[in-house]
Homo-oligomer: A and B are copies of this chain.
Amino acid sequence: MENLNISNNQIKQFRLLKEKKYRQESAMFLVEGQKMIEEALRSVYILDTLICTSEWAESHRDLTKIFMGNLCLATSRQIEQISNLNTPQSVLGVLKIPHFKIEFPGCCKELCLFLDSISDPGNLGTILRLADWFGIEDVFCNLGTVDLYNPKVVQATMGSIFRVKVHYIDGVAFLNQYCNKSGNAIYGASLQGENIFQASLDKKGLIVLGNESTGISKEIEGFIDKKIFIPSYPEKRNTAESLNVSVAAAIICSEFRRRNH
């Protein structure tokens, strides 16, 4: 593959990937740093363009030699112009946005998450990282959820974006199908739920997590078979009103896995 110096036009194009509109039009997104590039190359994702300094290319010949996409050489200053990080790295990648097919009942054989309009990029990234840790392979997001390819989400996943399949779906239509085809229970994290440590939890199922401020929406709530609640300590006390959604997700996933190990 020939190495080419990056053009001003390319810089402009890659900078546009900060915006959801342009990511959707081009079906491309940006990742930053060596760890993310390595994880991308080991995944099903397609790395379209590798942008790096000539020093980086020089010291990673093993990698650049076998790389089949476009290799763009850039100065640190040019990388800074494209980067979304406070401390830009020497390498970035432009990847194709994949589309994972949802197949019933295949996608509901196991434990999955359903995110009802999670809006904070850090929360979505953290939830995917913990889904990866707990072996949850499919995460369903309704259309009100923050975009997975938002640079803050991508970096917060710490590479888990390449291992967990995220599907954006019409929530109600999906849940109708899930109910009809899976035979599994739908659990919802709710302050009005049953103590999770006393509730019966199946090995399979769908865990619904709601928006940071408004919780689970009315139209989704009707699908929930069992509401579960993380008890505070002591149980009756003038305490925090709720837990952060990614923290709640972590405790719930950990408890499902502990029980069904």
Contact = CB atoms under 8 A, between A and B. Distances in A.
A117 B128 CA distance: 25
A240 B122 contact: no
Nearest to A35: B241
Contacts of A134: 232-233
Contacts of A160: 240
A246 interface: yes
Contacts of A59: none
Interface stretch (A50-58, A173-181, A217-225, A250-258): A250-258
A231 B254 CA distance: 9
Chain A interface main SS type: loop
A121 to B, nearest CB: 11
A16 interface: no
A104 interface: no
Contacts of A231: 257, 261
Contact of A233 (B122, B251, B257): B257
Taken together, the copies of this chain in the complex come to 2
B159 A240 contact: yes
Given A122-B122, A135-B232, A135-B234, A158 B240 contact: yes
A163 B240 contact: yes
A230 interface: yes
A109 B133 CA distance: 34
A162 to B, nearest CB: 10
Interface string A142-156: 000000000000000
B197 A233 contact: no
A132 interface: yes
A239 interface: yes
A133 B232 contact: yes
A130 B244 contact: yes
A219 B128 CA distance: 33
A233 B242 CA distance: 27
Given A130-B244, A133-B230, A159-B240, 15 more contacts: A129-B243, A130-B247, A132-B240, A133-B233, A134-B232, A135-B234, A158-B240, A158-B241, A158-B242, A160-B240, A197-B258, A246-B247, A247-B250, A250-B251, A254-B254
Among all A-B residue pairs, the 8 with the closest Cβ atoms: A132-B240, A135-B233, A247-B250, A233-B257, A133-B240, A251-B254, A134-B233, A133-B232
Interface of A: 122, 126, 129-130, 132-135, 158-160, 163, 197, 230-234, 237, 239-244, 246-248, 250-251, 254, 257-258, 261
